[in-house]
Amino acid sequence: GAVVSQHPSRVICKSGTSVKIECRSLDFQATTMFWYRQFPKKSLMLMATSNEGSKATYEQGVEKDKFLINHASLTLSTLTVTSAHPEDSSFYICSALNSGTDEQYFGPGTRLTVT
Amino acid sequence: KQEVTQIPAALSVPEGENLVLNCSFTDSAIYNLQWFRQDPGKGLTSLLLIQSSQREQTSGRLNASLDKSSGRSTLYIAASQPGDSATYLCAVSGYSTLTFGKGTMLLVSP
């Protein structure tokens, strides 16, 4: 089946630094990818929709200058958490949409801890 | 390794019917269970979250139950409407993992 990878799987960084998370679709081209975050004991929430070659669409309440999304190719989207703070610590998960089948495939997630 | 199964894979009902979607998981050591709705080409919409210590959650016409010991959850939709047509996904959360079922595709006809 289709595979979506995320890198890194876990990252610990200091407050004030920036962290980049990569999401790759390994065996299909994805014009659309989605980024989610999950706080402890909270539901998974959609952050933004990433479209290849254009600007991402952010959900209400998500700071686009803080969570930079780049979808430069049909197999790679990146999420950069800029000037990270402890409240940004969360589980970030991406998904890639196979436009041919309309199926969405999820990455394994990245656990970010900001100290 | 956690495995999540959803039954049925697809369901077609006339408008107004009450219906139940089923989700089962193999490892009962979970933090929570979530139900999502997915419309074609769109991101997931969270419907209900049940913590591992809870038995059920309700939101409008939706009611989700959780029996952690038996590894089962159900999503009950009352008085279904055509706008409910979508794929419904169940996901269980561990410490650093999120495991999804394959979903139930629901079609509610007018």
Mutate to test the interface with A, among B42, B54, B92 (most CBs of A within 10 A): B42
Which parts of chain A register pLDDT below 50?
none
Mutate to test the interface with A, among B35, B95, B97, B102 (most CBs of A within 10 A): B97
Region B45-59: what's the mean pLDDT?
Answer: 89
- Using pLDDT thresholds of 50, 70 and 90, give the confidence band for residue B32: confident
What's the pLDDT score for residue B100?
84
Q: Residue A61: which region, alpha, beta or left (left: phi > 0; alpha: psi -120 to 50)?
A: left
| A:16-35 residues touching chain B, CB 8 A cutoff | 32, 34
- Binding-site residues on chain B for chain A (CB distance < 8 A): 31-32, 34, 36, 38, 40-41, 43-46, 49, 51, 91, 93, 96-98, 100
Share of chain B above pLDDT 70, in %: 95
Q: What is the mean pLDDT of chain B?
A: 90
| Whether pLDDT at B96 is above 60 | no
User: In whole angstroms, what is the distance from residue A108 CA to residue B96 CA?
Assistant: 9
- Using pLDDT thresholds of 50, 70 and 90, give the confidence band for residue B38: confident
Instruction: Work out the angle at residue B23's Cα, subtended by the Cα atoms of residues B72 and A99, and round it to the nearest 5 degrees.
Output: 155
What's the pLDDT score for residue A98?
76
User: In whole angstroms, what is the distance from residue A16 CA to residue A91 CA?
Assistant: 18
Using a CB-CB cut-off of 8 Å, the residues of chain B touching A46 are 43-45
What's the pLDDT score for residue B31?
84
